Amino acid sequence: MNIRKKVHCTLPPGINRYAALDLWVPAAEDEGWSEAEVQYVLDEVVEAEDDAAGLEVLAWYTAK
C-alpha cells in the first residue's frame, strides 16, 4: 500500500511506539483514514525492529 497522506498529530518525545500509536490512531481516524490504511501503519510499527524504528515509521506518517 502506498500511503502518501499525513496525520496531524503531535507525538511527545520520550514515549514508546505503542504509546505513540494510542495518540496517532485516533487522530488518523478523525482525519478519515480507512481501516485498511490505519492497519497498514499499525503493522509496520508493531513489526519494526525496536521502538526507534517504530517511531520513525510513525514520524513518516505524521505531518510536521
Torsion sign over Cα 15, 17, 19, 24: positive
What amino acid is encoded at 31 in this protein?
Answer: E
pLDDT at 31: 97
Cell 482525519 locates to: 31
Domain ranges across the chain: 1-64
Q: What is the pLDDT of residues 7-62, one digit of tens each?
A: 999 999 999 999 999 999 999 999 999 999 999 999 999 999 999 999 999 999 99
Q: What is the pLDDT of residues 13-27, one digit of tens each?
A: 999 999 999 999 999
Using an 8 Å Cβ cutoff, are 6 and 61 in contact?
yes
